[in-house]
Amino acid sequence: MEPIRWRVEEFASIDSTNTWLAARAAAGEPEGLVARADFQTAGRGRLDRRWESPSSSSLLSSILLRPKVLDSERYLVSVAVSLAARAALVRLSGVRPMLKWPNDLVVGHAKLGGLLAEAVKSPDVDLAVVVGIGINLTWSGPNGDASTCIKDIAGVTLQPRAVLDLLLEELENRLAALYQSRGDELRDELRGALSTLGQHVHVEGPTQSIDGVALDIDERGRLQVQTSREVVSIDVGDITHLRVVEGQSP
Ligand code: BTN
């Protein structure tokens, strides 16, 4: 695989790095363009939520990729970004966040960061995926104990750009692994990083809510949940970890 030529554009303030980068992707921009902002006036989270943070307190960034993978493997692009973020944070701060399915970075039960991946189609070029990432560095978020930041956990103040540079280095390795081994290595790394597996979960989906034990992820990245009656595959949704089930590793 040719190394990706990362081109980072930095903004003091922007509406949303995802929105800006999606417009560039729609106009045919090659992969490797990255947006980073100190502040967003209209930051977006998953499930149509807002994503807000004070200036310079977080990594707020979006990465444009044109991954040559099957549709069924596209979820692994977000997985590669969240695992790369985790690896970068370990190297810079010693903090090793776990992943809460599908893509949240968590420490214990507190959210440290999240991903918003959006597909952008434009004529005559490979499908683009814009992966936005927000990581709380010096501000622990609006949700009390439900969210946290690197400074509160490790006492260190990380610079957003330093985290981004290392994240891109770690991402390059994982994308190479994805293209060479069809995602097996990434799936293994994901299983080791997912705190969701083995937990009793409540899943709030668009059409149904389910309670059960998270067993595994399948080859399309869906969460397999054992309910009292059957194993259900969850595509999208918001999950709550309820408690660790005895005898299973979290
Ligand atoms: C989530 O809901 O957990 C995902 C949050 C993603 C936030 C990031 S911040 C940078 C990028 N730009 C956005 O508008 N959203 C993403």
Calculate mean pLDDT across residues 200-227: 89
CA of 250 to the centre of ligand 1 (A): 26
Pick the atom of ligand 1 nearest to 19's CA.
14
Tens digits of residue pLDDT in 12-46: 999 999 999 999 999 999 999 999 999 999 999 98
Domains and CATH numbers, the chain: 7-193 (3.30.930.10), 199-244 (2.30.30.100)
Looking at the predicted structure, is the pLDDT value of residue 249 above 70? Answer: no
CA of 35 to the centre of ligand 1 (A): 12
pLDDT: is 178 or 18 the higher one? 18
Q: Is the CB of 78 under 6 A from ligand 1?
A: no
How far from 148 is each of 96, 141, 166, 207, 214, CA to CA, in Å?
A: 13, 6, 21, 30, 24
187-203: b (≥16 Cβ within 10 Å) or e: bebbeebbbbbbbbbeb
The answer to whether residues 133 and 47 touch, using CB atoms and an 8 Å cutoff, is: no
The rounded distance, in Å, linking the Cα atoms of 225 and 237 is: 12
Residue 240 binned pLDDT confidence (cut-offs 50, 70, 90):
confident
Pick the atom of ligand 1 nearest to 43's CA.
14
Tens digits of residue pLDDT in 108-140: 999 999 999 999 988 878 899 999 999 999 999
The rounded distance, in Å, linking the Cα atoms of 23 and 120 is: 9
Name the token pair of 111. Answer: 């959210």
CA of 141 to the centre of ligand 1 (A): 13
Q: Is the CB of 134 under 6 A from ligand 1?
A: yes
Site of tokens 């893509």: 103
> Percentage of residues in the chain with pLDDT exceeding 70?
95
Looking at the predicted structure, is the pLDDT value of residue 57 above 50? Answer: yes
Tens digits of residue pLDDT in 65-89: 999 888 888 999 999 999 999 999 9
Instruction: Answer whether the bond into residue 250 is a cis peptide, omega within 30°.
Output: no
108-117: b (≥16 Cβ within 10 Å) or e: eebbbbbbbb
Helix-strand-coil split of the chain, %, nearest 5: 30, 30, 40
In this structure, which residue's CA is closest to atom 16 in ligand 1? 132
Q: Is the CB of 187 under 6 A from ligand 1?
A: no
The answer to whether residues 140 and 121 touch, using CB atoms and an 8 Å cutoff, is: no
Return the sign of the alpha-carbon dihedral for residues 22, 140, 210, 220: positive
Q: At what angle do helices 160-181 and 75-93 cross, to 10 degrees?
A: 130
Name the residue of 44, 105, 239 to mutate for ligand 1: max ligand atoms within 8 A of Cβ.
44
